[in-house]
């Protein structure tokens, strides 16, 4: 029996031509070559248009406010570098609002101070740049154009020198504020959130001290913090964004590990549903008859508007349950009157609205954090028209992961061999 050939990435025919050419270049020389750009053409065009709009708006507003009588230029050159950050890489920690306002204004103050206290510009300028960087580090507003503004305050000529500390307010502070407002408007109008949001940690749904299930294996937050401390260099990416990228890489690895298993492959298609106006007794009877734990609530077009679970029914004191211990327990709660006095009558009054749905083509790996970390027990699956097409329970996901692991094991052993 002939052996199946295994593709090796380091084989001469399996690597890009440029990569093979670079093999002969000394490592120190490769650092001079530009790194690949990951941004799409649309993203690059958006950065160019944003910089054009932001700088043009800043120049017009600041010139109008000066009334054409100011001796200082009302649009300073270092602001072009600020525009690169605000519109081309708005997710950078160096491009956030406090960085541009605090970094530029603080650097201008440092530069003016050095210009007034040190007569020799050749000494004042380097010292201004160094002190500006130290001050921005101390106040957590590091902004690269600030270094250029510090030098401008020293070397800008007689008009800048005569302005003194007023230079830090106008044009520096005014330019920075107007450009920031332009970035806020433009980035959010083009559906690129700014300021860059910091992802919130997923809380433990059980409100205990344990980590979320997906955080107990793989890369933990403590691992990332330890590596960053060992690296001991400032990275132009937020720590939370770096953690999110690593989690995304793990998700891609899961997809490769389990193949192309999507929600449509594992979902239950014969879904028992209820409407908003379904009586509570009828909904409870459906749960018991089919031995299920949740019912999607749909509108007449079969679009999901909520989910009602057995836990939602148990919170309702008006259901008449004749199921042994459960019924006695429920009657005890009713007599104690520890629940609300309102008496819901239909499913829509006790359902959970605004529920998370997934599409039929969603990979099952994306369900893991939803069920393991967010605590969802059931997830509704919708088609291309957002109509209910199935439902996936935790049991369905566990079975799929188990089956996928068994199927992937032989291929893993073959590759290792």
Q: Which of 62-71, 115-124, 154-163 has the least mean pLDDT?
A: 62-71
Three-class secondary structure of residue 83 per DSSP: helix
φ and ψ at 64, to 5 degrees?
-65, -40
Comparison of pLDDT for 32 and 390, the residue scoring more = 390
Q: How do the domains of the chain map onto residue ranges?
A: 41-189, 264-311+346-416
Compute the average pLDDT of residues 26-54. 85
Residues 117, 119, 121, 123, Cα dihedral to 10°:
-70
Sheet strands (E) in 274-400: 274-275, 294-298, 304-309, 352-353, 357-359, 378-382, 388-393
Pairing of strands 274-275, 294-298: parallel
φ and ψ at 288, to 5 degrees?
-70, -40
Residues 190, 194, 196, 199, Cα dihedral to 10°:
-80
Helices (H), 302-372: 310-314, 325-336, 367-372
Compute the average pLDDT of residues 337-355. 75
Predicted local distance difference test score (pLDDT) of residue 334: 47
Radius of gyration over every alpha carbon of the chain, rounded to an integer in angstroms: 31
Predicted local distance difference test score (pLDDT) of residue 73: 76
Nearest alpha-carbon partner for 190 in 53, 36, 38: 53
pLDDT band (50, 70, 90) for residue 325? very low
State yes or no: pLDDT of 212 exceeds 70: no
Predicted local distance difference test score (pLDDT) of residue 18: 58
d(CA 326, CA 310): 12
Q: What percent of the chain has pLDDT over 90?
A: 48
Q: What is the pLDDT of residues 378-390, one digit of tens each?
A: 999 999 999 999 9
d(CA 256, CA 254): 5
Comparison of pLDDT for 332 and 402, the residue scoring more = 402
Highest mean pLDDT among 7-16, 89-98, 190-199: 89-98
182: number of Cβ within 10 Å: 22
CB distance 197 to 352 below 8 Å: no
d(CA 385, CA 353): 19
d(CA 73, CA 68): 10
pLDDT band (50, 70, 90) for residue 65? confident
Q: What is the pLDDT of residues 288-319, one digit of tens each?
A: 999 999 999 999 999 999 999 988 888 775 56
pLDDT band (50, 70, 90) for residue 52? very high
Predicted local distance difference test score (pLDDT) of residue 216: 63
Q: Which of 64-78, 111-125, 292-306 has the least mean pLDDT?
A: 64-78
Strands across the sheet with 352-353, in order? 274-275, 294-298, 304-309, 352-353
Which CATH fold topology does 264-311+346-416 show? Answer: CBS-domain (3.10.580)
State yes or no: pLDDT of 329 exceeds 60: no
Predicted local distance difference test score (pLDDT) of residue 361: 92
Comparison of pLDDT for 34 and 269, the residue scoring more = 269
Predicted local distance difference test score (pLDDT) of residue 412: 44
Predicted local distance difference test score (pLDDT) of residue 337: 44
CB distance 103 to 111 below 8 Å: no
Quote the tokens at residue 331. Answer: 């009657």
Q: What is the pLDDT of residues 237-250, one digit of tens each?
A: 888 888 888 877 87
Quote the tokens at residue 281. Answer: 């007794």
pLDDT band (50, 70, 90) for residue 133? very high
Q: What share of the chain is helix, strand, coil (3-state, %, to 5)?
A: 55, 10, 35
């Amino acid at each position: 029996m002939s052996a199946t050939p295994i593709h090796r990435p380091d084989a001469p025919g399996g690597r890009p031509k440029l990569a093979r050419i670079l093999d002969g270049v000394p490592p120190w020389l490769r650092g001079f070559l530009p790194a690949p750009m990951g941004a799409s053409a649309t993203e690059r065009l958006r950065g160019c248009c944003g910089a054009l709009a932001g700088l043009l708006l800043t120049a017009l507003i600041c010139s109008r406010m000066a009334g054409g009588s100011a001796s200082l230029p009302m649009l300073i050159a270092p602001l072009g570098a600020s525009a690169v950050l605000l519109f081309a890489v708005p997710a950078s920690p160096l491009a956030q609002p406090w960085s541009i306002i605090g970094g530029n204004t603080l650097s201008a103050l440092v530069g003016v101070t050095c210009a007034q206290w040190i007569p020799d510009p050749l000494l004042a300028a380097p010292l201004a740049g160094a002190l500006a960087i130290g001050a921005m580090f101390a106040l957590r507003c590091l902004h690269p154009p600030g270094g250029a503004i510090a030098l401008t305050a020293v070397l800008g000529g007689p008009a800048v020198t005569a302005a003194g500390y007023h230079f830090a307010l106008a044009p520096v502070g005014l330019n920075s504020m107007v450009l920031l407002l332009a970035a806020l408007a433009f980035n959010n109008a083009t559906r690129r959130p700014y300021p860059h949001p910091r992802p919130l940690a997923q809380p433990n749904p059980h409100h205990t001290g344990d980590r979320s299930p997906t955080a107990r294996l793989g890369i933990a937050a403590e691992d990332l913090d330890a590596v960053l401390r060992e690296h001991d260099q400032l990275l132009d990416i937020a720590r939370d964004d770096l953690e999110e990228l690593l989690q995304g890489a793990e998700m891609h690895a899961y997809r490769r590990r389990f193949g192309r298993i999507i929600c449509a492959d594992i979902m239950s298609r014969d879904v028992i549903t209820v409407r908003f106006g379904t009586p509570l007794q009828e909904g409870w009877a459906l749960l018991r008859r089919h031995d299920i734990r949740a019912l999607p609530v749909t509108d007449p077009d079969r679009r999901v508007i909520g989910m009602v679970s057995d836990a939602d029914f148990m919170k309702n004191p008006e259901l008449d349950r004749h199921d042994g211990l459960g019924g006695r327990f429920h009657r005890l709660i009713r007599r104690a009157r520890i629940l609300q006095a309102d008496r819901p009558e239909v499913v829509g009054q006790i359902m959970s609205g605004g529920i998370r749905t997934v599409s039929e083509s969603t990979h099952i790996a994306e369900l893991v954090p939803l069920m393991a970390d967010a605590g969802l027990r059931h997830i509704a699956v919708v088609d291309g028209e957002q109509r209910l097409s199935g439902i996936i329970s935790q049991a369905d996901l566990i079975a799929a992961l188990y089956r996928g692991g068994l199927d992937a094991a032989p291929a893993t052993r073959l590759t290792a061999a």
